[in-house]
Amino acid sequence: MTQILSGLVVAETRRAKLVEKVQSFISKSNRPPGLAVVLVGADPASQVYVRNKIKACEHVGIVSTHHRLPDTISQDELHTVIDTLNADSAVDGILVQLPLPKGLSETLATERILPSKDPDGLTSGNLGLLFAGRTRVAPCTPLGVMKIFEHYKIEVEGKSAVVVGRSNIVGKPMAQLLLEANATVTVAHSKTFDLKSVTSQADIVVVAAGRPQFMGKEFFKSGSIIADVGIHRLPDGAAGGGPNGKSKLCGDVLTSELMNHAQAITPVPGGVGPMTIQMLLENTLRLAELRA
């Protein structure tokens, strides 16, 4: 029987403890931790993510401020907003919601954030510390995967692990966190020859390929542990869509084929996604504590 690694369960467990930690911080510092969320444009998915993040902040006692900017804003104007937040002593974390509208540089916007106020862990300063083994905060999604493994007592040390994807947001930091946990790590990507032969030998596979339902049973060996980072909405009427032509969320992995084949797997939805938000909250508190 394949074990379902529910990120919802892990996030709820950790959130209850986080409420206590935030209250302790408030008692010692006489102020709550603060997270500023910057949303440029009106991307529907981004608006949903931002609402969920703001709601989660309210639940644990972190003060969240929402800065909604038009998609006509210039790069310099966006940087001015970020600079103002960098200088605001009430702000411990700054989140610029990605993706940004066409014409704006995500790299420049991210790098404008002070590393000491970067709860996403995506500035070169924080990524550099991660790869140097002196982590301030790690990127939220890979960190969330590791916390899921920790919660369910998934042994990583000594195991062979493959990360599918090499982005700075997930793939590269995911590989580093697994390496720090003493796994033997391989990073596969779009240029990898014979991906199946690589992933089917691994004990642990973290999939961040960015392709809906891309990997089925033949990509994984029996008894493997799979973390599916992908999240996609299949359009109405697409193969694998919901009943009656309704849209459906799915990951990069064909989960239905893995039941009773994999040892454990994260579902989509309800797997890694909730942990990404939880890690954002925990990273914000950590940055607040470091600043204090």
The confidence score (pLDDT) of residue 91 equals: 98
Question: Domain limits of the chain?
Answer: 30-115, 140-273
Full-model pTM: 0.94
Which residues of the chain carry a pLDDT beneath 70? 236-246
The confidence score (pLDDT) of residue 242 equals: 54
> What is the gyration radius of the CA atoms in the chain, in angstroms?
19
**140-273 shares the fold of 30-115:** yes
Torsion of CA 85, 275, 99, 190, to 10 degrees: 140
Q: Which fold has domain 30-115?
A: Rossmann fold (3.40.50)
| pLDDT tens digits, 239-255 | 555 555 567 899 999 99
The confidence score (pLDDT) of residue 49 equals: 85
| pLDDT tens digits, 96-152 | 999 999 999 999 999 999 999 999 999 999 999 999 999 999 999 999 999 999 999
The whole-angstrom separation of Cα 75 and Cα 275 is 31
The catalytic residue positions are 53, 97, 120
H or E element in which residue 265 lies = strand 264-265
The confidence score (pLDDT) of residue 240 equals: 54
Q: Which CATH number fits domain 140-273: 3.20.20.70, 3.40.50.970, 3.40.50.720, 2.40.50.100?
A: 3.40.50.720
Helix, strand or coil for residue 271? coil
How far, in whole angstroms, is CA 230 from its chain's centroid?
Answer: 10
Q: Which residues have C-beta within 8 Å of that of residue 273, sequence separation ≥ 6?
A: 7, 231
